[in-house]
Amino acid sequence: MRVDGKQYRSLWWDEEADALAIIDQRWLPHAFRVEHVRSMDAFVEAIVQMRVRGAPLIGATAAYGIALAMRLDPSDGALAAATARLLATRPTAVNLRWALDRCRLQLAPLPASERPAAARALARRIADEDVEINRAIGAHGLPLIRQIHDRTDRPVNILTHCNAGWIATVDLGTATSPIYQAHDAGIPVHVWVDETRPRNQGALTAWELAAHGVPHTYVVDNAGGLLMQRGQVDMVVTGTDRTTRRGDVCNKIGTYLKALAARDSGVPFYVALPSPTIDWTVSDGAEIVIEERDGREVSHVIGRTEDGPAEVAVSPPGSPVGNWAFDVTPARLVTGLITERGVCAATEAGLGALFPDVASAVA
């Protein structure tokens, strides 16, 4: 997508710098900073500190981390050690494990001398595939938006939570891809953007939508219920960090409450789901490890001052804080899953019909 008229992906290999280029998301939307990642420590730090974030982007970053590790030392031991370090960075988004498994399966059988080039090519392939997956999610989600517009003949109001936009993926985004495609097709859309405390990833979504000219309104997390009761939301579309084989959806904390409100108000609740985010090994969402992050993300907020980004405290000194980063929306509250192969019910049968190759391989 474009930033200040220039086309970007959220990460790319910078040949001149001989390093992975990333956009440091900690400062968005206040400052746009490109940084280079050139050591294993820096890869681990980038994921842990959320310089890069969003399930698909974490997976692609980890694949480039393996590429770096193989260049430094292509031995079996180094492959195992790098995999273990990267896997431990964040627990919930399954794309991390998916990408690392894919790297291990492809690289381990190769002679060590072939691993550096193969690892780099695989990381590039994983990044490119992510873009194509998101393009297809957009194509399958677009008719859902079009149908609402055809029925109502007014702008389609879509509520989203967190950031499942291009910056959370390699490009285009998951939840935002149908929105961008609808907007580009001339369908009038308006997006309600939840701010998404504690880290305010909604501000990233608003920044993206503004850059693409998509009408939107930034709202506090608790506004969604009121908006849905008043008929001001036609559909909810979120991303996901891990979806079980039965269709339970783990996503940013607060997503479950949006799904409950949507069910109560009869608003369709869709989840944009790239297949690497399906955890075929888990049936029940209650089994998913929910990341608990530093309480400082809750007790403080980062904002923009005249001198640049700054952090201020919002809770009284000494008050204990809790910071669960994700929750699980049960499949029964999900109207449909928008995948790169089409839209399906949030059920084992629905996912299995779209992905029989993968579903049968892990059965």
Judged by CB under 6 A, the stretch of 205-213, 221-229, 234-242, 338-346 that binds ligand MRU is: 234-242
Tell the residue number behind the tokens 């804080």, with chain if given.
Answer: 321
Instruction: Pick the closer one to ligand MRU by CB: 9 or 252.
Output: 252
Q: How far is the CB of 264 from ligand MRU (least distance, A)?
A: 22
Q: How far is the CB of 78 from ligand MRU (least distance, A)?
A: 27
List the interface residues with ligand MRU, window 243-302 (CB under 6 A). Answer: 251-252
CA distances, 180 to each of 56, 65, 175, 280, 298 (Å): 18, 30, 9, 29, 31
Spatial distance between the Cα atoms of 343 and 266, rounded to a whole number of angstroms: 19
Spatial distance between the Cα atoms of 17 and 163, rounded to a whole number of angstroms: 29
Q: Is 191 in the site for ligand MRU (CB under 6 A)?
A: no
Q: How far is the CB of 164 from ligand MRU (least distance, A)?
A: 4
Q: Which long-range contacts (CB under 8 A, 24 or more apart) does 24-29 make?
A: 24/51, 25/50, 25/51, 25/52, 25/53, 25/167, 25/204, 26/50, 26/51, 26/302, 27/309, 28/167, 28/203, 28/204, 28/207, 29/203, 29/204, 29/206, 29/207
Spatial distance between the Cα atoms of 278 and 257, rounded to a whole number of angstroms: 22
Report yes or no: 322 and 291 within 8 Å, Cβ to Cβ: no
Q: How far is the CB of 106 from ligand MRU (least distance, A)?
A: 24
Task: State the burial class of residue 308 (Cβ atoms within 10 Å of its Cβ: 0-12, 13-18, 19+).
Answer: exposed
Q: Is 53 in the site for ligand MRU (CB under 6 A)?
A: yes
Q: Is 241 in the site for ligand MRU (CB under 6 A)?
A: yes
Q: Is 205 in the site for ligand MRU (CB under 6 A)?
A: no
Q: Is 335 in the site for ligand MRU (CB under 6 A)?
A: no
Q: Is 338 in the site for ligand MRU (CB under 6 A)?
A: no
Our answer to whether residue 241 is catalytic in this structure is yes
Helix (H) or strand (E) run with residue 350 in it: helix 348-354
Point out the residue whose Cβ comes nearest to ligand MRU: 239
Judged by CB under 6 A, the stretch of 145-153, 168-176, 227-235, 306-314 that binds ligand MRU is: 168-176
Q: How far is the CB of 115 from ligand MRU (least distance, A)?
A: 29
Which position among 157, 240, 275, 329 is part of the footprint of ligand MRU (CB under 6 A)?
A: 240
Report yes or no: 10 and 57 within 8 Å, Cβ to Cβ: yes
Which position among 37, 44, 46, 55 is part of the footprint of ligand MRU (CB under 6 A)?
A: 55
Q: Is 174 in the site for ligand MRU (CB under 6 A)?
A: yes
Q: Is 157 in the site for ligand MRU (CB under 6 A)?
A: no
C-alpha closest to that of 57 among 66, 46, 67, 68 = 46
Instruction: Pick the closer one to ligand MRU by CB: 52 or 107.
Output: 52
Catalytic residue among 194, 221, 241, 279: 241
By CB under 6 A, the count of residues binding ligand MRU is 17
Q: What is the dihedral of CA 354, 356, 358, 363, to 10 degrees?
A: 130
Active site residues: 241
Residues at the contact surface with ligand MRU, assessed by CB under 6 A = 53-56, 93, 162, 164, 168-169, 174, 201, 239-241, 251-252, 325
